[in-house]
Structure 1
């Protein structure tokens, strides 16, 4: 399999292991006002998160609670075009990225090309996103021609070439431009899944547009509504699907040469009894099966996403201007309909949707739109490193929830976090500035890859029981805990074995503990 090499690669392939664990500091909770107009559509999703901070450290901070739980990941990373927007830097020469590269890659960072820097930036973030993805989850990445070839190879290496699902082509522009030799009218959305078969089984179909549904008509005033007829033949020869069919007028039909009927005779008779077979206006034609529009679940998604169905850049600009009432720092945000399509295909009610390059917050708006109504309960997690995380990203989500202009609010709530203290100090010791609850979450995660159980217990140091092992974290920020017989006497949980954390231990290795 082709592999991708660049300057600095050997320094970043395992860097996700070295990223420090930080706690998430809760700043505030926002909940949309419950008014008479929107009270029935309010869905107070207390677990919606917006995190302000470097997305590499934020993704690491999410692991203790969210590893293996995210169903749909969408990211819109820098395209590495060499151009810069107002506050959105698209050429990875941001001072923060430069400092990070210098720390991770060392002196070699001075020799990195623009593409080397981009790959160094993307690799560890994709590794952490892979950890957060659920077993049936998928990741969707917007990109253009600048880095799509490199991204394919990068994704093949991290996720596996056999995890590739599709390279969707999004028609971002509907009008021609004359600036380039060939006008740029599209971008790509790469899709990879942790388990392609599980993704195929769980992904949703796309609803028909009215234009696609116009082939369904009702010329006979059928009380079941609009329908279309589908020829009842299939390619090839199957002995149990080769039988004569007699029309109501007495005409006998056999399958055409090289084809057979599309169903066995028993099923055909059942369809005939249900009035689901059509023999043409005069009753002489070869049989067709009637399919009603009301029975069509939707269309299997395909890789061509035209602007009529999912929006374009001009629509996206107008959307974001209508929210803020003025021009913002985002000249080319993604249209909400595009994100709604992705999230609809890749997730269901109750699933978690993550965007670690949140930008203006389009992903959150798409989730809220899909959730609108008392049955919708997808959860979003946004991460934005720039200073506008509060003034633009979170503000957009607030306005969408509350309503803006003539738009009714979706309702809902979110928690706003910043990156807090490291769990460990420079000497590798637990940081006393971190709350005990946060440390307990981390310990349980490293042992079980799960979250701390909320089961009640009168044992203050007990974390929980996992696969027959009872875990205890004996820790006091202001004093030293010692594993001795007195401490052991406080343990009452019955388990096959015990793992106990304490500052020191006075029990010798050869002592038998019962």
Structure 2
């Protein structure tokens, strides 16, 4: 059995699967021919360089409205395996300074149709590959996330149930936010043998409690029915419950409040407690009359509400009691009620029932978990968007519409924030993020996908040559009959969509009715519900991005022996070694970089005692040096320790591979190919020649 749900200590659940303790190594050809290896394997642990291929930029158009966010600069499109890209972003200082702990939103749409993507494997192995692939990427993504960041994982029914357990393990159960259902199809597939699937699932997790979703635009009719202003409050409101559930666990929030006119003690209903802190409740009631906190010995009543006994209920919880005689309190309460613009804690009609004002907030409505295709588009719209961009290309099987990604980007980020998608596909996430003024990073394993889709698509976006998707938004709005230049408000409670449908049905009724309808009334109804399409252009071009590719490995295997690759020489070796050490590659004199008081020197050749003397001559006082070399004389190691305490010298690649393995020593000798010999045990090498080689190769 490939996967199994088991109970761990403390009652938590864990999903186990074949080779879960391993990591997944891709061949890099995009055919999902993966191998399971130890996490210490150099093919996984090595930090690859990112090489610039080209850069694309366009100026910000002059006619662009000032209200739109500024086009972003220095975005990244990377060709290569996400495994290497994410490591480079987190461990190479030049990228880590920009991305480590700073990514606000991650959207990933991993390959989840296991029957298609992993067709050459048995089902049990296919699931193990998919789960390990997901787990490995999430582990790499987490340190890149900002504390107020979020991860959105797009799935279908094949793996969504297993995925959620894995995400609970890696990101924390307490950081689960929601499971969004996206309607990807609005009609059934008649060739389906079982039930036709209409939705995908998007699992949403946060990095920490610091994350808060941005609100959605409020619906046009939201402020006309439920929200009113009965008391002169400048902000419309509806009355909501002043209590909350959980009386048994929130006993200090269960207490009496004396009514200011009748003197009756008002309690929450059984099983419920007051919904706000007692200090807030006291402040609100004090607007009606003078109140104080007073212990009234009502443990029996409080115990009944909390579902316990008086001896077990929390003692000494005071009531909010009147501090003046009842007739004086009643006069003050009536005067306050008549004055209007009541407190947020209201007694409608001064009845013995407390309600809480819920104001119509200007910042929109809370995002919901059901996303209809009519709002954000479905798979068909996504395919059409790709066809319009690339009419000669066969579109992806399930491209996502830009409006769907736009909703995710809107909820999870603000202009200027960083959006990451490490399964680039056709480039929808990056395209939408750029149009919405976000910074972005995307990578794609297949070079063919980059050249056919991502690169030309993102170039069109930057140049303002992509008219589809969220570039422009068309909405229905009210319009005055006979005058398309002016707008009017629709009747209360009627949305533009309602009005459009009403007009359509009204025309049908007029044509089909045998009754002689009043023409003037008909025209008045049509005029009151007339709508029009209004198109807003939201993207005009501008900004920039850099196309990078993942570099080759610094290692290769020859007859089963790990050696340095032919390209890893001199300056190239110095740069890639700085990447392994997470040291900024900033060549200065003979040194490749520095951190604090430590200088780093990389030598492709032999280091002897003469080399050490030459290095120390150029090393400032008070600093130490860490030398990485392909050959080391034993006397050089001892000389460096004595002449500059705190300094050290390490062998490439032995020590590099040992660092990957941590406690596992490299046992196989180096031999054929461009092998690197082990440290010499004599001082036969010419120090002067070594010093010359050092100066040439650093």
TM class by shorter chain equals 0.7 to 0.9
Aligned partners of 1:280, 1:8: CA distance in 2, in Å? Answer: 59
CA pair 327-124 structure 1, distance change in 2 beyond 3 A: closer
1:413 correspondence with 2:525: no
CA pair 269-23 structure 1, distance change in 2 beyond 3 A: same
CA pair 493-208 structure 1, distance change in 2 beyond 3 A: farther
Which structure 1 residue ranges, 5 or more long, are not aligned? 83-89, 99-111, 372-376
Q: Deviations over 1:246-277 (max 9, x none)?
A: 37xx8977335435544434331477797433
Q: Is the 8 A contact 1:425 1:431 kept in 2?
A: yes
Aligned partners of 1:234, 1:342: CA distance in 2, in Å? Answer: 31
Q: Which residue of 1 is the match for residue 343 of structure 2?
A: 276
**Matched ranges for 1:67-86 at <5 A:** 68-69=100-101, 70-80=103-113, 82=115
Aligned partners of 2:200, 2:252: CA distance in 1, in Å? Answer: 44
- The structure, 1 or 2, with the larger RCO (C-alpha pairs under 8 Å, 6+ apart) is 1
Q: Deviations over 1:104-132 (max 9, x none)?
A: xxxxxxxx315524633662564144124
Q: CA deviation at 1:350?
A: 5.2
Among residues 444, 449, 471, which one is paired with 1:388 in the alignment?
A: 449
Aligned partners of 2:265, 2:571: CA distance in 1, in Å? Answer: 75
Aligned partners of 2:268, 2:110: CA distance in 1, in Å? Answer: 54
CA pair 179-164 structure 1, distance change in 2 beyond 3 A: same
CA pair 76-228 structure 1, distance change in 2 beyond 3 A: same
Among residues 71, 79, 94, which one is paired with 1:52 in the alignment?
A: 79
CA pair 437-114 structure 1, distance change in 2 beyond 3 A: farther
Helix, strand or coil at the partner of 2:52: strand
Q: Is the 8 A contact 1:73 1:133 kept in 2?
A: no
**Matched ranges for 1:114-133 at <5 A:** 114=123, 116-117=125-126, 119-120=128-129, 123-124=132-133, 126-133=135-142
CA pair 5-419 structure 1, distance change in 2 beyond 3 A: same
Q: CA deviation at 1:185?
A: 1.1
Q: CA deviation at 1:394?
A: 2.2
Q: Which residue of 1 is the match for residue 439 of structure 2?
A: 378
Q: CA deviation at 1:303?
A: 4.6
Helix, strand or coil at the partner of 1:131: helix
Q: Is the 8 A contact 1:356 1:384 kept in 2?
A: no
Q: Which residue of 2 is the match for residue 140 of structure 1?
A: 152
Moved more, 223-232 or 208-217: 208-217
Q: Which residue of 1 is the match for residue 282 of structure 2?
A: 266
Q: Deviations over 1:135-183 (max 9, x none)?
A: 6454432221223344445556666777655543322223344433322
Helix, strand or coil at the partner of 2:210: helix
**Matched ranges for 1:110-189 at <5 A:** 112-114=121-123, 116-117=125-126, 119-120=128-129, 123-124=132-133, 126-134=135-143, 136=147, 137-152=149-164, 155=167, 166-180=178-192, 181-189=194-202
Among residues 192, 216, 229, which one is paired with 1:207 in the alignment?
A: 216
Aligned partners of 1:404, 1:220: CA distance in 2, in Å? Answer: 49
Give the number of the structure whose alpha-carbon radius of gyration is greater.
2
1:337 correspondence with 2:346: no
Aligned partners of 1:163, 1:114: CA distance in 2, in Å? Answer: 30
Aligned partners of 2:158, 2:579: CA distance in 1, in Å? Answer: 38
Helix, strand or coil at the partner of 1:509: helix
Q: Which residue of 2 is the match for residue 489 of structure 1?
A: 617
**Aligned residue pair count:** 469
**Matched ranges for 1:81-96 at <5 A:** 82=115, 90-93=116-119
Helix, strand or coil at the partner of 1:487: helix
Q: CA deviation at 1:38?
A: 2.9
Moved more, 202-211 or 382-391: 202-211
CA pair 176-123 structure 1, distance change in 2 beyond 3 A: same
CA pair 313-441 structure 1, distance change in 2 beyond 3 A: same
Q: Is the 8 A contact 1:72 1:343 kept in 2?
A: yes
- TM-score, with normalisation over the residues of structure 1? 0.75
1:443 correspondence with 2:467: no
1:229 correspondence with 2:239: yes
RMSD (Å) for aligned C-alpha atoms: 4.1
Aligned partners of 2:49, 2:579: CA distance in 1, in Å? Answer: 13
Q: Which residue of 2 is the match for residue 106 of structure 1?
A: none
CA pair 129-440 structure 1, distance change in 2 beyond 3 A: farther
Q: Is the 8 A contact 2:71 2:434 kept in 1?
A: no
1:507 correspondence with 2:534: no
Q: Which residue of 1 is the match for residue 380 of structure 2?
A: 314
Among residues 12, 22, 30, which one is paired with 2:36 in the alignment?
A: 12
Helix, strand or coil at the partner of 1:491: coil
Helix, strand or coil at the partner of 1:484: helix
Which structure 2 residue ranges, 5 or more long, are not aligned? 1-5, 7-13, 23-34, 289-335, 473-536, 645-698
Aligned partners of 1:91, 1:60: CA distance in 2, in Å? Answer: 24
